[in-house]
Structure 1
Amino acid sequence: MDLLGKRGKPSPSHYDGFISYSRAADDRLGPALRDGLHQFARPWYRLRALRVFCDARSLSASPGLWTTIEAALDASHCFILLASPESARSFWVLREVEHWRSLAPERPMLIVVTDGEIVWDHEAGQFDETLTTALPESLLRGFTEAPLWVDLRSVRTETDLSLGSPAFLDTVATLASALHHRPKDELVGEDVRQHRRARRFRRFSWTGLSLLTAAAVVGAVAAVNSADVARAQRDRAERQHRSAVSSLLVMRRDQVGDADPVRSGLLAAAAWHFNQTPEARHGMLASLATPARDVLNDLGDTRALSPDGKILAGDDRAMRLWDPVTRRWVGHPFTAHFRSAKFSQDGRTLVTLENDEDIRLWDSATWRPIGTAFPGPGDDVVALELSPDRGTLVTVGFDEKIRRWDTATWRQIGPPLTGHTDDIESLRLSPDGTTLASVGRDGARLWNLATGKGKPLGGHTGAIRSVAFSPDGRIMATGGHDGDVRLWDSVTAKPVTSPRSGHDGPVSAIAFSPDGETLTTAGWDRTVRLWDPTTGRQVGDSLTGHTDIVSAVAFSADGTLLVSSSLDRTVRLWDPEARRPIADPLKGHTEEVTPLLFSPDGRTLISSGQEETVRLWDPRTGRQLGTPIGIPNAYGNAAWPMALSADGQTLVIADPDGEVQPWGMADRQPIGEPIQVGRRVQAVAVSPDDATLAVGDGEGTVSLWNPATRRPVGQPLKAGTEAVQALVYSRDGTILATACGGTIRLWDTATGRQIGNSMEGVNSMAFSPDGKLLAALGGDGTTRLWDTRTQRLSGDPIKGDGAVALSPDGQTLATAGADNGVQLWHARTGRPIGNSLKGHTADVLALAFSPDGQTLASSDNAGTILLWRPGIPADPLKAVCALAGRSLTEQEWRLYLPEGEPHKKIC
């Protein structure tokens, strides 16, 4: 999109941009931004790519300072404002803004936020005057729609303000895209090409320099110095080149997205190979988080899926069987011309309906015909089914009559089965072959295949398009024309669950997993969905990616892979276990549960419930350990504040009545007498060396205690005037963070003094393991990352509500969502990793990562605890390569990377 509008090329006396900034705030950033715009995508034969005015670089001695600036403004095509509270108050910035707005109104303005806040009020159609601190007052109401602004707050304090910095390079690319009137990805590619040309030019220069050095001994010192400069320039160009290629690949990965998860993961891996940026790491994690595992679009026409997920595919000349688990063809091709096919339930036999209406049986291992062809029943066949023993074939035509045939003689068995009054859509035999289900526009019927007697499903009205039996044959699932999914008792033909609304349109296919614990459905709405047969409820989000009706679904034999085929001529592979709870809910609490704690070895999970019990769990089995710890109190139901010692041997439980009692984790018995705090306790924390116990009370005071002597140490900390909501020690114990009345304060544990500024509007928090980042959940439902070194916010706000947790490596953030889900985020970029984890039916209140980061625990206000395997690998590159089983092909490399970039095997 052209942000600036069309224009002619400026004359040499014109400027492409004018940078307005406060020298007090951005004396380094303003000139660096000007230099970056001059160099980005610069042809080697030109002095600069753009001509940008910046007073620190462009002004010379002049008797009329404002006259010179005014002339530069008049000659500039675009105004670039470095917005900050200092620039909003700067006399010169205000004067420059006023003069710019007095010029022709079509001249654009770009805003780069370097400090403070900018908030657009969509309802009022202007900037929010109460929250915006980085803009002059004259600009708050000066726009008719939200303008473009770029966030450079996280870059402002970096020591490397050059194109070698990925974040700074991305900002320069965004602004240069607007000034050049070219798409950002195209401009990044141009920058890569120019760096490559410059590199070739430097190579030629180096060769010439070497020859001159050999010929001129007198100039040896100068030549060496020149070589050093050339080497430094070469290294800088190489870094810029790798950074540009990495940024381009990240953009390509985002464009591919979940439509092709393997390819998008490999693009992110390639970006990581060129430059290990947070954006590249997020791209790999995002690809790993999707339940999609591959897209098979080179197999030809998909004719059928076997019950174990193997795919019959090919073209008009030959058919082959493809195993999605091994990614290999099975057996040899065979030639057949048919318009439909279906596998037997054991997958060993294929039934084909040929173009001339003949029906033939094939051995799927040898592709040899079994017996003679059946000329057909004399009526168009719309559905057929083969019995498990391969002795009986069931067919139905447009006359709504079901016929049974002896496959040895092809003679009809008994009279037709009648009862349907409208078109029959599908037939399905039970696993033991005794019961036949027929579904169609007038509902469904169950038949005794031996006797031919049938009965309709009780209480069902409306059309049914698909049907499946559970592996034990006891439950039958149907998918309706209206998108409903229903479960039935196959013996009584009565419903076992109420109808569940799922698909937006007819359910075209349905299948059970091999263990019968998962049901999958596919629909005309192009989605695949998973269901819990015991409750009839959908599990997780819908699986999307197909672009046309999904016609068939099947599980692999071990249940670890789900296969779907579609009229879009693709087959997709899915992980049915991805992003689902790894165990049944941990039940025992009857009221809300908060907080959650993992022991240092990760073998015990500790939960505190509002019904006045603390429970210990084995997260590997989901079983409760021993009897609950319970201490009644005078305030009625309340969840106990608690903390665990660093060695994992002592659990500290705080009674709201003012007592803090240490308990032994081994025997779950009290250790000594309780510490008498004297005030209602709201939060507790144990220092990493187990030498100090921090206790926050209901009046904003944090007292420090020696757990061994039960005596206070040092002076209390005044965290505020309201109840202390949370206490957290940094991993090294040098910082104590307190949350009180919506304000976070950081304290130096050695001196007891507050560090830096406080952070307002915060309810809960969590430290990264290195203590450099503090994740703070605000009352507005967003989580911000606070850099404890610079005392500044890091990155953009992250949506989340109710709870927050940081993974042990500090790379992944977990937040509770308003939809009863848990969302994972890449902490460094603030971008989500996959869809939210669904399973809770009430508000999520607490989150905790295990010490190895491989398990995430979540609890809600209904007393339910769920355990998740977040799937965040320590080495995302290795995980992406293992999933793909390959690198980018040469064809993919040429398609996505700049021209001339030599092909590399990333995996």
Structure 2
Amino acid sequence: MFGNLIPGTQDALIVTAPGDASIRDTGTGEMREVLELGFEPDPDAADMLVEVSGDGRIGAVLSPALTSGGLRRLGQSTRSNLVVFDLERAEPIWGPTRINVGSGALAINEDGSIIALADVFDGAVSLVSTNVPGLRGITNETVNSVPTSSSDEGGHSRTSSLAFDPSGRLLVGRFDDRVDIIDPESATISATMRIPGQPVNAAMAVSNSGIVVGSGGPDLIAMEPEGRRVRWSTDLGGTDRGQCSRLAISEPRQRVYCGSASGRVTVFDLADGAPVPAEEIGPFYGAVGNLDVDADGSILTAIGGGQPTISRWQLDGVGVGRRLIAPGQMLAGPYSYEGSFVVTAPQAEPRIESRVSPLFTEQIIEGVVAMNTETGEAGYRFDEAVSDVGWARDRRLYARSAEDTLLRIVAADTGDPVGEPIWGVSVLVPSSAGTTLFALRDDGLIRELDPRTGRWAGDPWGTQGIPTWLSVAPDGDTIVVSHWSDGSPRENEDASASDQEGTWLAIFDAEDHRLRSDDPIALDAHVMLDDGELIGVQGTGMGRYTTDPLVRIGTLSGGTGNLGNPSLSRDASTLLMLTDNGNALLYDTGSGVRIGEPFDTDSRLLPRGYLRPDGLEMALSMPEGVVVWDLDPDHQFEHVCRIAGRDLTDNEWRTYLGELADWHSTCGFDPAG
């Protein structure tokens, strides 16, 4: 499959190897129009070339043609078949015509009036006017043949790359160090730009502002032909000439997309050429096909390549199952218990301080706001820098003031303060339902707080030491506390009795705070499950424990970094765990199995990820901003069907579902499709 996106639409001109031509919707695969190609491509020929004019009216197809002596090397010929279509009327307006040009490169100007061709063997350029049939050569053109070994995945020798710039000039990247600038009207070379040691024969892409990016040698090059100036040069770090055989530019996102024969699209910053590995796209099945970016720079379309497929990639964080809700923002706190609010702030490294307790650090953030992930609208906004931001039931927000270090609760809907400022507390921890806040006090004791009123509930209780982490069972009957003890006895009779220095794990009855057990087990963080079990982490390890008695019964696979910041759904069925090297890991707690591959987050920012209490959505801090993932199983099934565009095949059904039932449609597609 070969093709090119029709500008201003999500349709594409598509041609297949058997010779079928059509206009298709790249989003749905639906065929809009059937076109008559007029010739039958040779099955042994190299890839066909397909281009569309900038205004979307004219399309052209160039394909190697058999000669009397048969096809020459690598599926190429000294002759080609050329056909030109009026895409609005869905009919050919020129050809198919056999021309004496090997199909090396193809380009069409903005209004479709001129088609440029480059010969596959020596790069000689010919011009075709769609109004007046016939070929014109370029006056005083100097050509050079390409070595047989220099070909891409499709068999193209790439002696020249072609592109029209916004002013209508034709740019020709040669196999040596030249970029010729050609006036199409006179068919003459008006200027030549030289880039020593760097051919630009493989591919060229031109932005709307006239920046040209080219490939062909060891570097990716950005240049300004008008001033004959190289803007930047980036070492591609390899010798594979196919590593940048396809190029596309998204000027709104300031990105360059480089498709390779090895099946990946690498990404570079348009401003300075710096690689952006976090935005790499793929893998594709085989070589990457033709790349196009839509008008607003948000969708990259890849057509053909190693497989006869069309794939569309969201570049702005919006896509099947995920949405960019806050560009340039980061997470500053978790999800609300009602609705779907997260806490965000402008991307910046938090100021780290330890003014309240030596065991706790404050990550001080400015510009903190509650944001609705469903609408993208901002809610309550803190008017000062804060840390330790969290939610409780009834839309209560709490945070620590960076100015006086006191914690305060506010009603997020009205902004009214709830209760008095809270002093002497290292951290607040909400229960699984958010109905209670557990205050880990500076003196080592724990006390419960009603977030609806801001009043204390009950007497203090605690451990023999300083509590560092607290988790509550989903049903609220058990509380687990990690605490550090120096081995000294505590006078408070309600405290646990750890008698040696180190980190301990104490388990309490939630109703009367009766101590059930206190063991020297060092866990950095933990969550309680609905069956009374506990998942805890220490360093890079994650274990599963029973709590009555406290016994380790299993291990969960982790990542390559230290684990922490767990986020658990209200029903304790889904767990999000973060690593200090930037990964977010999602787990099914019942089986202990990780769901999917690790998510790459912005490792510069903390915190980086939260799970919504209902477990149906996840928010992560990404380089582009705050992105939310739809985790609803019903929606996930719809997403899979949409991406696949088909049902399971008979063989797939027999392999995976054969023992459950006879084949039937799972996505609602026609069995014949």
Corresponding residue for 1:562? 301
Q: Secondary structure, in 3 states, of the residue corresponding to 1:521? A: strand
Corresponding residue for 1:553? 291
**How big is the shift at 1:327?**
2.9
**How big is the shift at 1:784?**
3.6
- Which AA in structure 2 matches 1:408? N
Corresponding residue for 1:407? 130
Looking at structure 1, the residues matched to 454 and 24 of structure 2 have their Cα atoms a distance apart, in angstroms, of: 70
User: Does residue 514 of structure 2 align to residue 753 of structure 1?
Assistant: yes
Corresponding residue for 2:536? 776
Corresponding residue for 2:338? 600
Of 685, 694, 710 in structure 1, the residue corresponding to residue 429 of structure 2 is 685
Corresponding residue for 1:461? 198
**How big is the shift at 1:750?**
0.8
Looking at structure 2, the residues matched to 841 and 494 of structure 1 have their Cα atoms a distance apart, in angstroms, of: 36
Looking at structure 1, the residues matched to 91 and 123 of structure 2 have their Cα atoms a distance apart, in angstroms, of: 32
Query: Residue 80 of structure 2 contacts residue 102 of structure 2 at CA under 8 Å; is this kept in 1?
Result: no
Counting only pairs closer than 5 Å after superposition, residues 292-311 of structure 1 correspond to structure 2 as: 302-307=1-6, 310=12
Corresponding residue for 2:446? 702
Q: Secondary structure, in 3 states, of the residue corresponding to 2:324? A: coil
- Which AA in structure 2 matches 1:416? T
Cα distance change of structure 1 residues 865 and 583 upon mapping to structure 2, 3 Å threshold: same
Cα distance change of structure 1 residues 652 and 626 upon mapping to structure 2, 3 Å threshold: closer
Looking at structure 2, the residues matched to 818 and 326 of structure 1 have their Cα atoms a distance apart, in angstroms, of: 40
- Which AA in structure 1 matches 2:575? L
Looking at structure 1, the residues matched to 291 and 412 of structure 2 have their Cα atoms a distance apart, in angstroms, of: 48
**How big is the shift at 1:546?**
1.6
Corresponding residue for 2:324? 582
User: Does residue 234 of structure 2 align to residue 499 of structure 1?
Assistant: yes
Counting only pairs closer than 5 Å after superposition, residues 177-216 of structure 1 correspond to structure 2 as: none
- Which AA in structure 2 matches 1:748? D
Query: Residue 727 of structure 1 contacts residue 738 of structure 1 at CA under 8 Å; is this kept in 2?
Result: yes
Corresponding residue for 1:647? 394
- Which AA in structure 2 matches 1:618? M
Of 27, 31, 44 in structure 2, the residue corresponding to residue 325 of structure 1 is 27
Structure with the larger strand share: 2
**How big is the shift at 1:387?**
1.9
Gaps of 5+ in 2: 68-78, 147-157, 353-362, 485-502, 668-673
Corresponding residue for 2:357? none
**How big is the shift at 1:647?**
0.9
Corresponding residue for 2:107? 385
**How big is the shift at 1:690?**
7.3
Cα distance change of structure 1 residues 406 and 691 upon mapping to structure 2, 3 Å threshold: closer
- Which AA in structure 2 matches 1:395? L
Counting only pairs closer than 5 Å after superposition, residues 243-322 of structure 1 correspond to structure 2 as: 302-307=1-6, 310=12, 312-316=14-18, 318-320=20-22, 322=24
Of 206, 210, 213 in structure 2, the residue corresponding to residue 477 of structure 1 is 213
Counting only pairs closer than 5 Å after superposition, residues 429-440 of structure 1 correspond to structure 2 as: 429-430=163-164, 432=166, 434-440=168-174
Listed one character per residue, the Cα deviations across residues 138-195 of structure 1 (whole Å, up to 9, x for unaligned) are xxxxxxxxxxxxxxxxxxxxxxxxxxxxxxxxxxxxxxxxxxxxxxxxxxxxxxxxxx
Corresponding residue for 1:337? 40
Identity of aligned residues (%): 15
Corresponding residue for 1:736? 479
**How big is the shift at 1:671?**
4.7
- Which AA in structure 1 matches 2:260? G
Listed one character per residue, the Cα deviations across residues 544-568 of structure 1 (whole Å, up to 9, x for unaligned) are 1424x334334578965733422x4
Listed one character per residue, the Cα deviations across residues 652-694 of structure 1 (whole Å, up to 9, x for unaligned) are 53789884433443565655543443xxx43212457877542
Looking at structure 2, the residues matched to 695 and 738 of structure 1 have their Cα atoms a distance apart, in angstroms, of: 12
**How big is the shift at 1:401?**
3.9
**How big is the shift at 1:626?**
6.8
Corresponding residue for 1:888? 648
Give the TM-score taking structure 2 as reference length.
0.71
Of 46, 54, 62 in structure 2, the residue corresponding to residue 352 of structure 1 is 62
Looking at structure 1, the residues matched to 104 and 344 of structure 2 have their Cα atoms a distance apart, in angstroms, of: 58
Corresponding residue for 2:495? none
Query: Residue 764 of structure 1 contacts residue 803 of structure 1 at CA under 8 Å; is this kept in 2?
Result: yes
Looking at structure 2, the residues matched to 373 and 705 of structure 1 have their Cα atoms a distance apart, in angstroms, of: 80
How large is the Cα RMSD of the aligned pairs? 4.4
Looking at structure 2, the residues matched to 821 and 457 of structure 1 have their Cα atoms a distance apart, in angstroms, of: 44
Looking at structure 2, the residues matched to 448 and 903 of structure 1 have their Cα atoms a distance apart, in angstroms, of: 60
Query: Residue 508 of structure 1 contacts residue 523 of structure 1 at CA under 8 Å; is this kept in 2?
Result: yes
Query: Residue 361 of structure 1 contacts residue 369 of structure 1 at CA under 8 Å; is this kept in 2?
Result: yes
**How big is the shift at 1:320?**
4.9
The structure having more radius of gyration, on CA atoms, is 1
- Which AA in structure 1 matches 2:462? L
User: Does residue 464 of structure 2 align to residue 726 of structure 1?
Assistant: no
Cα distance change of structure 1 residues 603 and 430 upon mapping to structure 2, 3 Å threshold: farther
Corresponding residue for 2:526? 765
Cα distance change of structure 1 residues 905 and 521 upon mapping to structure 2, 3 Å threshold: same
Cα distance change of structure 1 residues 837 and 757 upon mapping to structure 2, 3 Å threshold: same
Cα distance change of structure 1 residues 844 and 367 upon mapping to structure 2, 3 Å threshold: same
- Which AA in structure 2 matches 1:714? D
Looking at structure 2, the residues matched to 595 and 896 of structure 1 have their Cα atoms a distance apart, in angstroms, of: 41
Listed one character per residue, the Cα deviations across residues 454-487 of structure 1 (whole Å, up to 9, x for unaligned) are 34276873555222223x24433334444x5454
Looking at structure 1, the residues matched to 421 and 123 of structure 2 have their Cα atoms a distance apart, in angstroms, of: 79
Q: Secondary structure, in 3 states, of the residue corresponding to 1:438? A: strand
Listed one character per residue, the Cα deviations across residues 242-298 of structure 1 (whole Å, up to 9, x for unaligned) are xxxxxxxxxxxxxxxxxxxxxxxxxxxxxxxxxxxxxxxxxxxxxxxxxxxxxxxxx
Corresponding residue for 2:487? none
Looking at structure 2, the residues matched to 643 and 901 of structure 1 have their Cα atoms a distance apart, in angstroms, of: 47
Corresponding residue for 1:716? 461
Looking at structure 2, the residues matched to 542 and 386 of structure 1 have their Cα atoms a distance apart, in angstroms, of: 27
**How big is the shift at 1:543?**
0.7
Cα distance change of structure 1 residues 359 and 515 upon mapping to structure 2, 3 Å threshold: farther
**How big is the shift at 1:304?**
3.7
- Which AA in structure 2 matches 1:312? I
Cα distance change of structure 1 residues 391 and 704 upon mapping to structure 2, 3 Å threshold: closer
Looking at structure 2, the residues matched to 583 and 829 of structure 1 have their Cα atoms a distance apart, in angstroms, of: 31
User: Does residue 631 of structure 2 align to residue 872 of structure 1?
Assistant: yes
Gaps of 5+ in 1: 1-301, 632-638
Listed one character per residue, the Cα deviations across residues 192-236 of structure 1 (whole Å, up to 9, x for unaligned) are xxxxxxxxxxxxxxxxxxxxxxxxxxxxxxxxxxxxxxxxxxxxx
Query: Residue 602 of structure 1 contacts residue 851 of structure 1 at CA under 8 Å; is this kept in 2?
Result: no
Listed one character per residue, the Cα deviations across residues 881-903 of structure 1 (whole Å, up to 9, x for unaligned) are 45545433445445666699743
Structure with the larger helix share: 1
Counting only pairs closer than 5 Å after superposition, residues 80-119 of structure 1 correspond to structure 2 as: none
Cα distance change of structure 1 residues 540 and 503 upon mapping to structure 2, 3 Å threshold: farther
Looking at structure 1, the residues matched to 165 and 52 of structure 2 have their Cα atoms a distance apart, in angstroms, of: 11
**How big is the shift at 1:643?**
3.9
Corresponding residue for 1:528? 265
**How big is the shift at 1:582?**
1.2
Looking at structure 2, the residues matched to 479 and 554 of structure 1 have their Cα atoms a distance apart, in angstroms, of: 16
Q: Secondary structure, in 3 states, of the residue corresponding to 2:302? A: strand
- Which AA in structure 2 matches 1:646? R
Query: Residue 687 of structure 1 contacts residue 729 of structure 1 at CA under 8 Å; is this kept in 2?
Result: yes
Listed one character per residue, the Cα deviations across residues 485-520 of structure 1 (whole Å, up to 9, x for unaligned) are 454456545455562647773312122469666643
Q: How many residues align?
A: 580
